[in-house]
Amino acid sequence: MFGSIFSGAGFWDAGAWILAFLSAGGAALFIRRMGRSDYKKGTDQDEIYYSGNVVPDAEIFTVPASSAYWGFREALKSYYSHLTALHCGIATEYVGWFVFTAALILTFVLV
Amino acid sequence: MISANLPYFVVVVLFLIGLLGVLLETNMIKIGIAIDVMESAANMFLIVLGFREGGYIPVKFLMPAGTENFVLPTPQALTLTAIVIALATSALMLSLIVVLYRHYGTLDVREIRRLRG
Amino acid sequence: MKNRSMRPLSVIARTACDMYAWFMVAFGAYVIVHGDITPGGGFQGGAICATFLALMLVTQGSAYVSAWLNENFYKVCLFLGLFMFIGFGLMGLGWAMDGTLMLNWAAVAHDQLAEVKPWWPPSGTVALMDIAVGIEVTGGLSLILVTMFRAIRLGTVQEDGMGKETGHDQR
Amino acid sequence: MKLMNHLPALTLALPLLAAFATPLIAAVSAKARNRWVTCVSALVTLVVFALLHRVLVHGTQIYVMGAPSWNISLPSGFAIPVRIILEVDAFNALAACAAALAQLAGTIYGLKFVKKFTGLEFYSALFLLLTAGTMGMILTGDLFNFFVFLEISSVASFGLIAFWRDRPESVEASYKYMLVSQLAAQLVLIGLAFIYGRYGVLNMAAFSRAVQPDLISKVVLVFILVALGMKCGAFPMHMWMPDSYAEAPASVTVMLVATSQASLVVLCRFCFSLYGTAIGSAAVPWALIVMGCLSMFGGVSMAVVQHEVKRLMGYHSVSQVGYMLTAFGVGLLALGDAAAMNDYGLAAVSGGLYHMINYILYKGLLFLCAGALYYVAGSRDLDKMGGLARRMPVTSVLFLIAAAAISGLPPFNGFVSKWMIYESVYAVHPILMVVALVSSVLTLASFVKVYQTAFLGPERSQFAAVREVPKSMIAGMAVLAAAILVLSLFPSWTVNTLVRPAAEALVDKASYGAAVMGGAL
C-alpha cells in the first residue's frame, strides 16, 4: 500500500515501520496489563516519592531549559565562546561577514 | 578609451564608498545614506550599460521621421524600477531607525544588540 | 519636553505657497497624464503631487495641517491606485480569457490613431496604468511624509492621539 | 479550458489583487477581512495545486505576460524573448505548492493569533504581498522580474517582522535583516546588470542558452550565490535568521520560511538550469558543500544551548538549510558526468529537493506550535514553561509530529529525505555524512529538550487557567500536519510522482531553455 523506496544500500518502507510501531505498542500494552492490579487512582499511590521529603514547587523541582545539557556546553566551552562571539548582535559586523564570504568565494572561484 | 570607461570607474568608486560606509560607520542614518549610495551606483551602472552612441529615445511618436537607431528601453525600465524599490526601502529603513531611536535612545548601531548569542 | 512641532512661516511665504502648491499638483497631474510618451510618468508625477503636502507642512505648520488633513483620503488613494493597476492588468485577460495578464488591450496602431480615436491615449493601457500609478504614488508618498513627520515629534504633545504606540502591549 | 492556461499568471495576480483590496475591505468590518483573506489564500492554494497537476501531466508551462496570446514567447522577428515570461516546470511547481501550504496555514493561524493587535489591515495586505513575492520568485522566468519579486518579498517581510513595533527586539531584528538584505539586493542587481551588459538578455531561458564559462559569468554566479545564500541562511551569513524568525509573529514566520526557501529555489535554478555545465569551476559546488556543512553543524550547535523556543528553532532553520545546500552541492559536483549523475547526483538533488519540501512543512508547523506556546504562556522563554501537555493535548501531539519529522525519526518524512541525502553525499566524501548524522543527533537532542521542558514535567501554578489554543489556530497547524503525514505515509508515491520529475527538470538545462526558446539549438 505505502510502497518502498530502494537505494543502493537498503530500502525504506513506511508501512513496515508502522507495523513495527503497532506491534511494539501492542507488546507494551500487553506488558502493562500484566502489572499489579491493586493500584488505585486518587490515593497515596499517586504521590511522588521524594526520599520521604515534601515535594518542592515545580519551579525548583524541574531542570530549566537553560540548564539542560550543561555538561555538553561545559565540555565545549572554548568552541561555544567563539561561536557566541560570532553572533555579537552588531548589524555592521553581520554585513562584514557577508562581504567577507563574498570575497572568499570570489577568490576561490576566480583563482 | 579612458573617457569611455570613466563612468564605470565612477560606479566602482561609488559602490566602494557605499560599502565602506556601511562597514565602518556607526551612525544608523549614515549607514542608511551609504546604502543609498550603493543603490545609486547600481542604478548608474545600469544607465551606463544602456547608453549607445547616437541612439534615440525609444518612443515612436517623438522620433524624427526616418530615425532607425533607438536604444533598447530595458535598462531604463530596470533603473526606474530599481529607483522606486530603493525609495521604498529607504523610507522603511528611516522609519525603522526612528522607531529604534525611540526604543533605545541612541543612533549608534553598536549599542542596538539585545538580540545576540 | 519642548514642543518640537513645526511652526508656520511668515505671511508672505504662506500666501505664496498656498497658491504655488496647487500649481505643483497641476504640474504633477500633467506629468502623470503625459507620462506614457514623454519623460516622466506615474511615479515621477506622483512624487511631484506629493510635494504639495511637504510644502504645506513646511509653510503652514503642523497644527494647521493636522487639523486640515484627512489621512484616509491618502490611504484610499494608495490602495485604489494599486487596485486599479492590477485591475487594468487583469483586464488584459479579457472576458473570454484569450488575452494575457498585462496585455495592452487599449492600444491603437500608430497610423490609425488620428482618424479612429483622436482623444485616445496612443499607448493604451500604459497610459491608464500610469494614471493608476500616479494616484498610488501620490497617496503613498504623502502617507510616508505624514507618518514620518509624526514620528519625528518624539513624544511631544499629542494633539490628536497620534504618536501613541499601539500594538503588542494592547492585551 | 482556457482558464488553465492562465494558472501561472493567476498565482501572482490573485494575491496582488487581494493585497491591494484588503485595506478597502477591512474598512467594512474585521469579519469581512478575515473571510476575504481566508478565501483568497485557499484559492491561491487551489490554483497552485492545479498548476502542479497541469505541469505533471502536460510538461513545462510557460506564460508570456502582455503578449497577444499566452504562449508566444518569441514574436516573429525576435531572436530573444522581450516580454516577461513565467516558466513553470515540475521543480518550480512543487516548491510553489509547499509555499502555498505554508501561506494557507499562516493565514488561518493568524486570524486569531494577531487578533488583539492594531494595524491588521496592513498586516493582511503585507502577508498577501509576501505571498505574491514568494510565488513570483519561485515561478518567474525572467531575471529582472526575479529581482523585483525578491524586493517585494523582502520589503513585505521587513514590515511583517517589525509588526510588533513596540517591542524593541522586533524592530531591531527587522533592521538587521534589512541592512544585510539590502546589500545582497544590490549585489543581485549588479550581477543582473553584468548579465545584461555581457549577453544582452534578461530572460532565464535565453541566458541559459547564451552563457559561457567566462570571467563575467563566474563573478555573476558568485554574487547571486552569496546573496541568495544569505537569504536562505548559509552559515557565516545566517545571523539575521534566528533574530527575525524569533521576533516575527508565528504566523509570519511560516511564510518567512517559505520565502527563504524561494531564494534557495532560485539559487538552484541558477546553478543547475541556467549555468549547468558552464559553471566552469569546481569551487562553486565545493563552496555550497562547505557552507552547507558549516551551517549544519554551526546552526545546530547554537540551537542546543538556546532557551528561547523560537530562537532555538531559528537556529535549526540554519542547520536544515545546510542539508539542502550540501545535497545540491553534491548534485552540482556530479553534473556533466553521466555515470556520477546516475550513481549519486540525481539522488542527491532529489534528496535536497524532498528535504526542502519537508522542511517548509515541518518547520512551519514547529514555528506555529511555538507561537501557540507563546499565545498561552505569554513568554517564549522555555525556563518559564512546563507541564503544558495536559493543558494543550492537540498542540503537544502536533509538536511531537513535527519534532519527530525534523529529527529524522522513522516513520516520518524527515527521515526519508535525510536518508537520501546521507546515501548520496557518502559517495563524495564520508565526512559529509558524518557531519550530517551528528547534526541530526543534536537536532533530536535539542527538540527533546524543548518537549521535555515545555510540555512535560509537573504543572505550574501560573498555567492553571491555560486552555487549548483557539480552533482556527489548530486548523492552521493541522494543514501542515496533514501534509507531513501524507508525505510520510506515501514516500514512494511522493518520490516517484513529485520529487523525481522535479529533480530531473531541475538538472535538465536543455529542456529548460527549449520551453521558451523553441526546440532548435
- Please provide the DSSP assignment of A89-109 as one string: --HHHHHHHHHHHHHHHHHHH
pLDDT for D483: 93
Residue-level pLDDT, tens digit, chain B, 117 residues? 677 888 899 999 999 999 999 999 999 999 999 999 999 999 999 999 888 887 887 776 677 777 778 888 888 888 989 999 999 999 999 999 988 888 888 889 998 888 887
Q: Which residue of D has its CA nearest to B38?
A: D186
Q: How many residues does chain A have?
A: 111
Contacts of D170 in chain C (CB under 8 A): 168
Domain around D357: 282-489
Phi and psi based region of residue A64 (left: phi greater than 0; alpha: psi -120 to 50; beta: remaining): beta
Give domain limits for chain A.
61-111
- Alpha-carbon distance D416 to D207, whole Å? 35
**Mean pLDDT in consecutive groups of 10 residues from the start of chain C, 171 residues:** 65 89 92 82 90 88 81 88 89 79 75 66 82 92 86 51 42 35
pLDDT of residue D1: 64
Smallest CA-to-CA distance from D72 within D359, D470, D63 is with D63
Q: What pLDDT is attached to residue D51?
A: 94
CA distance C97 to chain D (A): 6
- Residues in contact with B116: Cβ distance below 8 Å, sequence separation at least 6, in sequence order: A84, A87, A88, A89
Residue whose C-alpha is closest to residue D475's, from D391, D372, D390: D372
Q: Does B33 touch chain A (CB under 8 A)?
A: no
Q: How many whole angstroms separate alpha carbon D362 and alpha carbon D109? A: 15
User: What are the beta bridge partners of residue D4?
Assistant: none
Mean pLDDT of D9-33: 90
Range of the domain at B95: 2-111
* Residue B117 belongs to some domain of the structure: no
Record: contact D302-A87, CB cut-off 8 A: yes
Considering only CB atoms, D172 lies closest to which of B42, B74, B100, namely B100
Closest Cβ opposite residue A90 in set B22, B109, B117: B109
Q: Which residues of D442-465 are buried (b: 16+ CB within 10 A; e: fewer)?
A: bbbbbbebbbbbbbebeebeebee
| B99–C contact, CB cutoff 8 A | yes
Instruction: Residue window 70-89, chain C: list those with CB within 8 Å of chain D.
Output: 75-76, 79-80, 82-83, 85-87, 89
The pLDDT assigned to C163 comes to 43
Task: Produce one character per residue of D298-336: b if its CB has 16 or more CB atoms within 10 Å, e if not.
Answer: bbbbbbbbbbbbbbbbbbbbbbbbbbbbbbbbbbbbbbe
pLDDT value of position A8: 63
How many structural domains compose chain C? 1
CA distance D115 to C168: 11
Q: Does A12 or D242 have the greater pLDDT score?
A: D242
Counted residue by residue, chain D has a size of 521
pLDDT of residue B67: 73
The three-state DSSP-derived secondary structure of D348-371 is: HHHHHHHHHHHHHHHHHHHHHHHH
Tell whether B112 lies on the interface with D, counting CB pairs under 8 A.
yes
Mean pLDDT of all residues in D357-361? 94
In chain A, residues with a C-beta closer than 8 Å to the C-beta of B22 are 92, 95
Q: With bands split at pLDDT 50, 70 and 90, how would you rate the model's confidence at A2?
A: low
Interchain contact, B61 vs C41, CB within 8 Å: no
Q: How much of chain D exceeds pLDDT 90, in percent?
A: 58
Neighbours of chain B (3+ CB pairs under 8 A): A, C, D
The amino acid at residue C90 is L
A39 has a pLDDT exceeding 80: no
C67 touches D: beta carbon within 8 Å: no
Question: Which residue in the set D184, D302, D450 is minimally distant from A83, CB to CB?
Answer: D302
Give the pLDDT of residue D385: 84
Residue of A nearest to B111 (CA): A90
SS3 D203: strand
CA distance D165 to chain C (A): 7
**pLDDT tens by residue, D219-246:** 999 999 999 999 999 988 999 999 999 9
C with A: touching (≥3 Cβ pairs within 8 Å) = no
- Which residues of chain D are within 8 Å of residue A110 when distances are taken between CB atoms? 215, 218-219
DSSP for residue A11: E
**Which pLDDT does position D439 carry in this prediction?**
93
The whole-angstrom separation of Cα D69 and Cα D173 is: 45
Q: Nearest CA to CA, how far is D93 from chain A (Å)?
A: 23
Report the C-alpha gap between C112 and C45 in whole angstroms.
Answer: 29
Question: CA-CA distance, C141 to B91, in Å (whole number)?
Answer: 9
| Interchain CB contact of B23 with C (< 8 Å) | no
Chain-chain contact of D21 with C104 (C-beta, under 8 angstroms): no
Smallest CA-to-CA distance from D342 within D503, D510, D513 is with D503
Cα separation, D143 vs D273, in Å, equals: 13
Contact assessment for residue B15 and residue B30, using Cβ atoms and an 8 Å cutoff: no
D23 contacts on C by Cβ (under 8 Å):
75, 79
Whether B15 has its CB under 8 Å from any CB of chain D: the answer is yes
Confidence check: pLDDT of D39 > 90: yes
Looking at the 3D structure of chain B, how many domains does it have?
1
How many other C-beta atoms lie within 10 A of the C-beta of residue C33?
A: 17
CB contact under 8 A, A59 and D449: no
Mean pLDDT of D486-496: 87
Cell numbers found for residue D239:
545571523
Cβ neighbour number for residue C139 with a 10 Å cutoff? 24
Q: Which three cell numbers stand for residue D261?
A: 526557501
Q: Is B85 on the interface with C (CB under 8 A)?
A: no
Residues 6+ apart with CB under 8 A from D119: C166, C167, D163
The C-alpha cell 547616437 sits at B54
| D20 close to C107: Cβ distance less than 8 angstroms | no
Nearest CA in chain B to D189: B42
Q: How far is D341 from chain B (nearest CA, A)?
A: 38
Q: What percent of chain A has pLDDT over 90?
A: 32
Question: Which of chain B's residues have a Cβ under 8 Å away from the Cβ of D176?
Answer: 115
Q: Do D151 and B104 touch (CB under 8 A)?
A: no
Neighbour-count burial of C68, counting CB atoms closer than 10 A to its CB (0-12 exposed, 13-18 middle, 19+ buried): exposed
Report the domain count for chain D: 1
B60 touches chain D (CB under 8 A): no
Please state the φ and ψ torsions of residue D181, each to the nearest 5 degrees.
-70, -35
Residue type, A3: G
Q: What is the pLDDT of residue D187?
A: 93
- The model's confidence at residue D358, banded by pLDDT at 50, 70 and 90, is very high
Average pLDDT over every residue of D461-489: 89
Chain C CA closest to residue D4: C97
| Residue D15 binned pLDDT confidence (cut-offs 50, 70, 90) | very high
Specify the range with the lowest mean pLDDT, choosing from A73-82, D261-270, D512-521.
D512-521
Q: Do D189 and B42 touch (CB under 8 A)?
A: yes
Report CB contact under 8 Å: D176, A106.
no
Q: What is the DSSP letter of D275?
A: I
Which residue, among B84, B90, B99, would best test binding to C if mutated, counting the most C CBs under 10 Å from its CB? B84
Give me the pLDDT at residue C111, please.
66
Task: State phi, psi for A6 to the nearest 5 degrees.
Answer: -105, 140
D69–C100 CB contact, under 8 Å? yes
How many residue contacts between A and B have a Cβ separation below 8 Å?
A: 31
> Could you identify the residue written with the cell 467594512?
D28
Tally C-beta pairs within 8 A across A and D: 142
Q: Which residue has the higher pLDDT, D337 or D21?
A: D21
For an interface test with C, the pick among D70, D140, D164 (most C C-beta atoms closer than 10 Å) comes out as D70
Question: How many angstroms separate the Cα of C104 from the Cα of each of B36, C92, C109?
Answer: 34, 7, 12
Please return the burial class of D77, using the count of CB atoms within 10 Å of its CB with bins 0-12, 13-18 and 19+. Answer: exposed
Residue B116 lies in a domain: no
- D20 chain-C contacts, CB cut-off 8 A: 79, 82-83, 85-86
More confident residue, D118 or C2: D118
Interface of D with C in 211-250 (CB under 8 A): none
* Contact status, residue B30 vs residue B21, Cβ threshold 8 Å: yes
- DSSP labels for D31-87? HHHHHHHHHHHHHHHHHHHHHHHHHHHH--EEEETTSSSTT--S-TT-SS--S-EEE
Pairing, β D61-64 against β D85-88: antiparallel
Q: Which residues of B touch A84 (CB under 8 A)?
A: 116-117
pLDDT of D381 strictly over 90: no
Crossing angle of the two packed helices D393-406 and D346-377, in degrees rounded to 10: 150
CA distance to partner chain C, nearest, from residue B1 (Å): 31
R_g (Cα) of chain C, nearest Å? 20
Q: Could you tell me where the DSSP H helices lie in D90-214?
A: 90-113, 120-139, 143-161, 168-199, 204-210
**List of chain C residues whose C-beta atoms are within 8 Å of the C-beta of residue B107:** none
- The residue-averaged pLDDT of D314-337 equals 91
The whole-angstrom separation of Cα C143 and Cα D481 is: 41
The number of C-beta contacts closer than 8 angstroms across B and D is 94
Please indicate whether, in this complex, the C-beta atoms of C100 and D116 are within 8 angstroms of each other.
no
Angle between helices C71-91 and D7-26 (to 10 degrees): 160
Judged by average pLDDT, the poorest of C103-117, D93-107, D175-189 is C103-117
Distance from CA of D177 to the nearest CA of B (A): 11
pLDDT confidence of residue C5: 59
The answer, yes or no, to whether the previous bond of D411 is cis (omega within 30 of 0) is yes
The answer to whether D219 contacts chain B (CB < 8 Å) is: no
Binary contact (D151, B85; C-beta < 8 A):
yes
Which subunits sit against D, judged by 3+ Cβ pairs under 8 A? A, B, C
Mutate to test the interface with B, among A92, A94, A95, A99 (most CBs of B within 10 A): A92
| Cα distance between residue D148 and residue D139, in whole Å | 13
Give the Cα separation of D173 and D310 in Å (integer): 13
**Which residues lie across from A4 on neighbouring strands?**
A13
For the residues D147-159, what does the mean pLDDT come to?
94
